[in-house]
Amino acid sequence: MYIMEEGLGHVGSDYGAGDPRPKRTIAFSQVENVYVIRYENINPQGRLFGGQLVSWIDEVAGACAGRHTGLPVTTASIDNLTFKRGAFLADRLVLLARMTYVGRTSCEVRVDSYIEDKEGYRHTINRAYLTYVAIDDNGTPIPIPYGLEINTVAEKARWDGAILRRDYRKNRQHMGF
């Protein structure tokens, strides 16, 4: 069990306490975007088209990864993209992107999508985890110069979840499915 105390920040790295990189906080790169759902975003069933939402998710997550890394990034994979509720014409959609994990050349961003009602309450409609890889002009992966500062138990839990997803993904690739 992790105890909230000064010094927890050293945990946030693949390299453990020995990570030589300077760190950036999750707040540093957090991105929040608001969209109002228009006619052109609606599918024949009268709901928000899922592909449109995925495009917006990739946009905010890419901006978040770009802020953290300070480098060009490309989308490597999208994990656990779960549609929990539909969204409809004129709904106010809020997308919140936050870093969960930073590896050597790759990093993971979690995006929570909400519908914000008239009272300002947010109702989750989607959650997704996206992995970005920092690349040079030739598209070759390059090291990310900043680690991720982890300050709370919740941030540590999200970091651990990212490691699990990374390992599952590698296993799937290894097993060929």
Ligand X SMILES: CC(C)(COP(=O)(O)OP(=O)(O)OC[C@H]1O[C@@H](n2cnc3c(N)ncnc32)[C@H](O)[C@@H]1OP(=O)(O)O)[C@@H](O)C(=O)NCCC(=O)NCCS
Q: Could you list the residues that contact ligand X (CB under 6 A)?
A: 74-77, 103-106, 131, 133, 135, 139, 141, 169
Instruction: Give the whole-angstrom CA distance, residue 97 versus residue 9.
Output: 20
Residue with tokens 């390059």: 142
> What minimum distance in Å lies between the beta carbon of 97 and ligand X?
17
Residue with tokens 């020995």: 18
> What minimum distance in Å lies between the beta carbon of 39 and ligand X?
27
Nearer to ligand X, 69 or 106 (CB): 106
Instruction: Give the whole-angstrom CA distance, residue 161 versus residue 83.
Output: 19
Closest CA to 133 of 77, 79, 73: 73
> What minimum distance in Å lies between the beta carbon of 107 and ligand X?
7
Nearer to ligand X, 82 or 173 (CB): 173
Nearer to ligand X, 85 or 170 (CB): 170
Q: Closest residue (Cβ) to ligand X? A: 103
Q: What are phi and psi of 105, to 5 degrees?
A: -120, -10
